[in-house]
Amino acid sequence: MPPSTAKQSGPQQAQNMHNLMTVKETAEYLRIPLPTVYYLVQRGQLPAIQIGGRWRVKKDLMDRDILRKEEEGQPTVLVVDDDTGLQQMFKLFLKKQGFARIVVGTGKEAIAAMQKQKFELCFLDLQLPDTTGDEIYKEAKDIQPNMPIVIITGYPDSQMLDNILKLGPVTVLKKPLKVEALQKTMQMLGHKVNEKAKVA
Q: Which residues contact 102 (CB under 8 A, 6 or more apart)?
A: 76, 77, 78, 79, 113, 117, 119
Query: How does pLDDT run across 81-110, given as a tens digit for each residue?
Result: 999 999 999 999 998 888 889 999 999 999
Of 65, 84, 115, which closes a domain?
65
Range of the domain at 167: 76-188
Asked, as a colleague might, if the bond just before 176 is cis with ω within 30 of 0, I would say: yes
DSSP annotation of 67 reads: S
- Residues 169 and 103 placed together within one structural domain of the fold: yes
146 lies in some domain:
yes
Q: According to the model, what pLDDT value does residue 2 have?
A: 44
176 lies in some domain:
yes
71 lies in some domain:
no
199 lies in some domain:
no
Of 23, 45, 65, which closes a domain?
65
Instruction: Indicate which CATH number applies to the domain containing 60.
Output: 1.10.10
195 lies in some domain:
no
pLDDT of 8 above 70: no
11 lies in some domain:
yes
For residues 46-72, average pLDDT: 76
193 lies in some domain:
no
- Residues 103 and 130 placed together within one structural domain of the fold: yes
133 lies in some domain:
yes
- Residues 173 and 87 placed together within one structural domain of the fold: yes
- Residues 81 and 172 placed together within one structural domain of the fold: yes
Sheet holding 54-58, edge to edge: 20-21, 54-58, 48-51
- Residues 168 and 81 placed together within one structural domain of the fold: yes
pLDDT of 4 above 60: no
Q: How many domains does one find in the chain?
A: 2
Q: With cut-offs at 50, 70 and 90, classify the pLDDT of residue 145.
A: very high
List C-alpha distances in Å: 165 to 98, 140, 191, 195: 30, 15, 23, 30
pTM above 0.75, yes or no: no
